[in-house]
Amino acid sequence: MQRPVEIISATAVAARIEDLARNIDAQLPPGPLTVVGVLRGAFVFMADLVRAIPRDITCDFLGVRSYGDATVSTGVVEIKSDLSTPLEHRHVLLVEDIVDTGLTLKYLLDVLAARGPASLHTCALLSKPSRRQIEVPVDFVGFEVPDEFVVGYGMDAGQLFRNLPYIGVMKS
Ligand code: IMP
Ligand code: MG
């Protein structure tokens, strides 16, 4: 398999997460927060993000499958493992690695909104706006990236490269 080419350094990612955390803390209603990470891609980002938000935080995870091991969205979202805690009356931040077509985030937002949270916001490390197929609010975005397949910092190509400390692209 080809090797990824770095487009965003580990240092740049870390600096941007500090900004995101500050904005999130300033803009969300005060009080304890439940951060919901979308597995598997968001686990690295979420680990760094929650440590930068100075509040009482509980963490939960949703396991979804939207692509299989392909690099093109099928538009079908399947919840493989659900949250282990109720969201009712909680302030909730849904954390994604990347918003591409928007289909996954839109689906998950609708599912979580139906569970009666006190507030519901979304945060994605990356966004590919040129690829959007459906309008979905992303309240906090780390970086906008062009229409290329990105890996690293939690994101994979065929389950590889999640452990890279930087964000790279697969060049064909
Ligand atoms: P969606 O097309 O917005 O529904 O994207 C769904 C999911 O596909 C994201 O949460 C990612 O996990 C994954 N994904 C989308 N684009 C990329 C990419 O460039 N690299 C790695 N994963 C991606
Ligand atoms: Mg994902």
User: Dihedral through CA 38, CA 82, CA 112, CA 145, nearest 10?
Assistant: 10
- Reading phi first (left if > 0) and then psi (alpha if -120 to 50, else beta), residue 22 is in alpha
**Do the Cβ atoms of 89 and 32 come closer than 8 Å?**
no
Identify the band that residue 67 occupies on the pLDDT scale cut at 50, 70 and 90: low
Q: Supply the pLDDT for residue 160.
A: 96
Asked if the model's pLDDT at residue 73 lies above 70, the reply is no
Question: For 25-53, what is the mean pLDDT?
Answer: 98
pLDDT in tens, 101-138: 999 999 999 999 999 999 999 999 999 999 999 999 99
Asked if the model's pLDDT at residue 84 lies above 70, the reply is yes
Tokens of 146: 């062009």
In angstroms, rounded to a whole number, what is the distance separating the alpha carbons of residues 146 and 16? 18
Catalytic residue among 100, 110, 147, 156: 100
Identify the band that residue 76 occupies on the pLDDT scale cut at 50, 70 and 90: confident
Is 122 touching ligand 1 by the criterion CB < 6 Å?
Answer: no
Question: For 17-37, what is the mean pLDDT?
Answer: 98
Question: For 11-24, what is the mean pLDDT?
Answer: 98
**Hey, which residues does 59 pair with through a beta bridge?**
35
Distance 65 CA to ligand 2 centre (A): 8
The residues near 108 (Cβ < 8 Å, ≥ 6 apart) are: 38, 62, 64, 77, 94
pLDDT, the chain, mean: 94
Q: Supply the pLDDT for residue 69.
A: 58
Q: How many residues does the chain have?
A: 172
Asked if the model's pLDDT at residue 165 lies above 80, the reply is yes
Is 94 touching ligand 1 by the criterion CB < 6 Å?
Answer: no
